[in-house]
Amino acid sequence: MAEFLMPSLGADMQSGKLLEWLVKPGDVVKRGQVVAVVGTEKGDIEVEVFEDGVIHDFAAEAGAEVPVGARLAIINGGVAKPTGAPVQVAVAEAPPKAAVETKVEAVKERPTTNGHRVRISPLARKLAEELGVDLSQVQGTGPHGAIDKADVERAAEALKARAAPPPTEAAAVAAKPAVEPEAAPAATPVERPKDKGSADFQAGMRRAIALAMARANRDIPHYYLETRIDMTNALAWLETENLQRSIQNRILPAVLLIKAVAKALTKVPQLNGYWVDDALQVAEGIHIGFAIALRQGGLVTPALHHADLKSADELMENLRDLIMRTRAGRLRSSELTDATITVTSLGDMGVEKVFGVIYPPQVALVGFGKVIEEVWVEKGMLGVRPVVHATLAGDHRATDGRVGAEFLDVLNKLLQEPTTLFGV
């Protein structure tokens, strides 16, 4: 028997709101299965279990605010008497019928082309109930056709427009001058922020980031290193690779940098881990936390799992999926808690150098700026090369500058031989 506890989904998190159970007592669950949705300052997070077993009992009901580390449920290691088909997490078929009858029926009517049920964010479900929107009539625009808050709002506006009585002749005449100018836009839906676009949420996000960074600045003795990396070979390899691909399958420069960081960590593993109980705990897996900016403001750094073992196509697909789900508020708990190091890149914003703050309990952060043309001297010859400034923020409790310098040296050498990055 094991306890399923409220996870810590951020260095600053004190508690989370249990929004929804996706299973019920008696259901068999498998390691990695999403069983609940928890609301945090950074969005609604799908929470997984980390062992096989049977849900025995709930210690908290949907809607409860639960402290980090408090019990959510009991999981028995034995096998329960079968009560039906295993829960399909993507559709949340298991919750009590009275609570979600309409939603589940709507989802069953709408299988996607890949055979999975259409997903609906928890916030979209709640909003649909409040606005009286039939989810079976809503077209999802999120990843894999998922229905989000903006989709429900658009459906509600359309419903309201259809229900409005036709204008009288006098009203039509009075309204005509207001729509005569050519500058008047067509009646198109206003793009609204995704699931978490309110001012309250943005303030909460900023507060969560501030608390985490304040803790990092207070507790972590940072040291910073910087190096310049000649990107001539790396960009040439990338151009050659992308010429062989369709536009939608092309590899972004960020993928090359992420892979290089992951490979460098296999040579310098001291930077890949956590500072816990006054000791460095080097992690076995290399899970790159990639900083993703949200359209409505704020920053989330979900993990790309086992980045060192993945091909360019796998990393590109994973990164694209992670960005879409982050901005739709549909991350999993493991993606928020598993990152062993953070990579941040602001090159697309024109920034040349990034000096980041380590996210506890991690012990390092790698920053990349914009690739710019700089004067470069090689064997006495003066020239101009495409150069990126790479920085490292290290935790002096875990490592020192020599280890950090070794890492940057390995990173540089890997980017000089990009064909080896994705080799077997």
- Asked whether the bond before 181 is cis by omega within 30 degrees of 0, the reply is no
Any idea which of 200-209, 240-249, 388-397 has the lowest mean pLDDT? 200-209
Per-residue confidence band for 111, with pLDDT thresholds at 50, 70 and 90: very low
Distance, first Cα to last Cα, the chain: 41
Q: Indicate the pTM of the whole model.
A: 0.63
Query: Can you tell me the distance from the alpha carbon of 380 to that of 377, in angstroms, rounded to the nearest whole number?
Result: 6
Phi-psi label, residue 227: left if phi above 0, alpha if psi -120 to 50, beta otherwise: beta
Task: Determine the pLDDT at residue 112.
Answer: 42
CA dihedral (265, 268, 272, 276) in degrees, to 10, reads: 180
Task: Determine the pLDDT at residue 201.
Answer: 57
Any idea which of 118-132, 158-172, 304-318 has the lowest mean pLDDT? 158-172
pLDDT per position as a tens digit, 365-374: 999 999 999 9
DSSP 174-220: HHHHHH-STTPPPS-PPP---SS-SHHHHHHHHHHHHHHHHHHHHH-
For the cut 90, the answer to whether the pLDDT of residue 375 exceeds it is yes
Query: Can you tell me the distance from the alpha carbon of 333 to that of 346, in angstroms, rounded to the nearest whole number?
Result: 25
Cβ(77)–Cβ(45) below 8 Å: no
Per-residue confidence band for 202, with pLDDT thresholds at 50, 70 and 90: low
**Stronger pLDDT, 201 or 131, i.e. the higher one:** 131
pLDDT per position as a tens digit, 264-298: 999 999 999 999 989 999 999 999 999 988 876 77
Task: Determine the pLDDT at residue 150.
Answer: 74
Task: Determine the pLDDT at residue 93.
Answer: 35
Query: How large a percentage of the chain has pLDDT more than 90?
Result: 37
Query: How large a percentage of the chain has pLDDT more than 70?
Result: 73
State how far the alpha carbon of 245 is from the alpha carbons of 126, 194, 251, 252, 311, in Å: 42, 31, 9, 12, 15
pLDDT per position as a tens digit, 22-62: 888 888 988 888 888 888 766 778 888 888 889 888 888 88
Q: In this structure, what token pair is assigned to residue 249?
A: 């399958």
Cα Rg of the chain (Å, integer): 25
Neighbours of 344 (CB within 10 A): 23
Per-residue confidence band for 126, with pLDDT thresholds at 50, 70 and 90: low
Mean pLDDT (the chain, rounded): 78
Domains in the chain, please, with CATH? 2-152 (2.40.50.100), 200-420 (3.30.559.10)
For the cut 60, the answer to whether the pLDDT of residue 167 exceeds it is no
Task: Determine the pLDDT at residue 206.
Answer: 66
Mean pLDDT of 249-260: 94
Neighbours of 45 (CB within 10 A): 27
For the cut 60, the answer to whether the pLDDT of residue 89 exceeds it is no
Strands 341-345 and 288-290: parallel
Within 15-59, where are the H helices? none
Task: Determine the pLDDT at residue 329.
Answer: 77
Any idea which of 35-44, 170-179, 250-259, 399-408 has the lowest mean pLDDT? 170-179
Task: Determine the pLDDT at residue 411.
Answer: 97
**Stronger pLDDT, 17 or 393, i.e. the higher one:** 393
State how far the alpha carbon of 405 is from the alpha carbons of 31, 128, 241, 306, 308, in Å: 39, 54, 30, 23, 20
Q: Return the ∠ at Cα 355 (arms to 272 and 360), rounded to 5°.
A: 40
| 161 phi/psi in degrees, rounded to 5 | -65, -40
Task: Determine the pLDDT at residue 42.
Answer: 67
Task: Determine the pLDDT at residue 20.
Answer: 87
DSSP 302-355: -EETTGGG--HHHHHHHHHHHHHHHHTT--BHHHHH--SEEEEE-GGGT-S---
Cβ(414)–Cβ(264) below 8 Å: yes
